[in-house]
Amino acid sequence: MLHHSDMQSEPHFEGDVSHMEHMEGMEHMEHSAEEMSSSGEVPEDLELAKNPTYEVGSQAIIEGAHMQGMDGAEATISGAFDTTVYTVSYIPTNGGELVEDHKWVIHEELENPGDAPLEPGDEAVMNATHMEGMEGATATIDSSEETTVYMVDFVTTDTEEQVQNHKWVTESELAPVE
């Protein structure tokens, strides 16, 4: 069973401490590549990035650790989009504990959100399906950032499982391949 509280993350700031350091000492479930993968479908109104730092098909190193096995993985960019991203807190629709500061939900994955960006404390219903229990849950906005978001393919660093179309990694969570 997937435990959403195991996927919490700190609010994102430039130069923040990695999520894995935050998670030290906490118990965690293993997350399969299937749970991190998606169909690759994106909302119809999501705009392709006009000038992404990482072009579709290019390689980058993931410096974000939303889930085990991400941090340090080499990714292939499978999509690049300009949008507003949010960290959100919510109670999963399938039960379970409050998920705090979940990274990331994009503006286009919110039901009738109005103009971007929403402000911290605003609430919106999510149409996102990244995690079980997310779709239909009411999210409280924790933070927002206008940026390029990427959908990525990668092999996990811990179990070497292939992850396809992982949503979402922000531009600041990627680094060039050296």
Q: Which candidate, 139, 149, 141, places its Cα nearest to that of 170?
A: 149
pLDDT score for 37: 56
Q: What is the DSSP letter of 34?
A: H
Task: Among 5-9, 39-43, 140-144, name the one with the lowest average pLDDT.
Answer: 5-9
Task: Tell me the C-alpha distance between 110 and 139, whole Å.
Answer: 9
The token pair that represents 95 in the structure block: 């039960």
Mean of the per-residue pLDDT values for the chain?
Answer: 82
136 vs 108: CA distance, rounded Å: 14
The answer to whether 132 touches 93, Cβ cutoff 8 Å, is no
User: Helix, strand, or coil here: 171?
Assistant: helix
pLDDT tens, position by position, 157-176: 999 999 999 999 999 999 99
- pLDDT at position 65 is 81
Interval 114-149: pLDDT, tens: 999 999 999 999 999 888 899 999 999 999 999 999
Contact 117, 108 (CB under 8 A): no
Predicted local confidence at residue 35, as pLDDT: 55
Looking at residue 178, its pLDDT comes to 85
The answer for residues whose C-beta is within 8 angstroms of residue 118's C-beta and 6 or more apart is 84, 86, 107, 110, 124, 141, 144
Using only C-alpha atoms, the chain has a radius of gyration, in whole angstroms, of: 15
Question: What is the reported pTM?
Answer: 0.78
In 3-state terms, what secondary structure has residue 148? strand
